[in-house]
């Protein structure tokens, strides 16, 4: 009997009804002007779609021409509920969403499980939203693909980069890091803070702190790997909840960033 991680935040962070979810995701994607990039990796936010969905769409719309090319997605996000010392695999065969079932890439899991700082931890994934909210976007823009989900706790940049090196692959593999930026600052301060954080990311400086981005650990590992691989960063969108659906007294920052290889960048 295959083991399945069911959706945990459908109906809260995004619509649980498939037709409504598909309609909403497509509507957000339709508002994005493609940047003409061929991303190897992206950073996208993970709040409720009403808050961060339009910014996430700015990253995912760039992937529409790559449907049929990308067949494996390595998805990393920070843990919010169950702490892990390094990185955690889900220990299941499939992830379900309202849009269908995604197979976990068994070969990648086998390779990653050999690393001493990678554990199998279903509890770390069971209620974790940072990975789940990315999946309907990925399913909409890519269609069929296998998934390599990694929940990231206290992993060092080097550990994350080592894991990414194992599953880096070629054009068939996309890397997605799920992260919001600053949390609960006043609007103007948040804008200045997040602009500085994005500049650090674009410089591939792998020393982000948790107060700059809740996904600092997976971002830092991606930036270290990107520097080694010669990738370039491109800011696609930078807004916060005060721009989308929240008040401006205490906002959360969101960025969409793409990373391209030298021969594919613009």
Interval 86-137: pLDDT, tens? 999 999 999 999 999 999 999 999 999 999 999 999 999 999 999 999 999 9
Pairing, β 4-5 against β 94-97: parallel
Return the residue matching tokens 């069911």. Answer: 6
Distance CA(253)–CA(116), nearest Å, equals: 33
Interval 144-199: pLDDT, tens? 999 999 999 999 999 999 999 999 999 999 999 999 999 999 999 999 999 999 99
Q: Which helix (H) or strand (E) holds 254?
A: strand 251-260
Task: Say what the pLDDT of residue 263 is.
Answer: 62
Distance CA(137)–CA(59), nearest Å, equals: 10
Q: Which domains does the chain have, with CATH numbers?
A: 4-260 (3.40.830.10)
| pTM greater than the 0.95 cutoff | yes
Q: What is the DSSP string of 40-51?
A: EEEEE--S-HHH
Distance CA(174)–CA(186), nearest Å, equals: 34
Query: What does the chain come to in residues?
Result: 266
- How far are the Cα atoms of 45, 84, 100, 126, 181 from residue 55, in angstroms, in the given order? 7, 28, 23, 25, 12
Q: Which helix (H) or strand (E) holds 95?
A: strand 94-97
């Amino acid at each position: 009997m295959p083991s399945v991680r069911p959706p945990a935040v459908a109906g809260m962070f995004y619509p649980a009804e498939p037709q409504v979810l598909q309609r909403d995701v497509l509507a957000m994607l339709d508002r994005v002007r493609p940047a003409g990039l061929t991303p190897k990796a992206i950073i996208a936010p993970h709040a409720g779609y009403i808050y961060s969905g339009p910014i996430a769409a700015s990253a995912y719309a760039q992937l529409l021409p790559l449907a049929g090319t990308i067949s494996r997605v390595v998805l990393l996000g920070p843990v919010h509920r169950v702490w892990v010392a390094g990185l955690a695999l889900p220990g299941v065969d499939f992830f379900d969403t309202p849009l269908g079932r995604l197979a976990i890439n068994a070969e990648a899991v086998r390779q990653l499980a050999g690393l001493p700082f990678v554990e199998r931890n279903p509890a770390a994934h069971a209620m974790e939203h940072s990975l789940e909210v990315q999946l309907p976007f990925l399913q909409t823009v890519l269609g069929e693909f296998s998934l390599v989900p990694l929940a990231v706790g206290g992993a060092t940049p080097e550990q994350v980069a080592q894991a990414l090196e194992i599953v880096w692959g070629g054009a068939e593999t996309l890397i997605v890091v799920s992260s919001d930026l600053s949390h609960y600052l006043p609007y103007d301060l948040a804008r200045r803070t997040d602009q500085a954080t994005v500049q650090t990311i674009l410089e591939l400086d792998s020393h982000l702190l948790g107060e700059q981005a809740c996904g600092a650990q997976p971002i830092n590992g991606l930036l270290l790997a990107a520097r080694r691989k010669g990738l370039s960063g491109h800011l696609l969108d930078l807004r916060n909840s005060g721009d989308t659906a929240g008040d401006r007294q205490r906002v959360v920052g969101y960025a969409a960033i793409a990373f391209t290889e030298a021969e594919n960048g613009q």
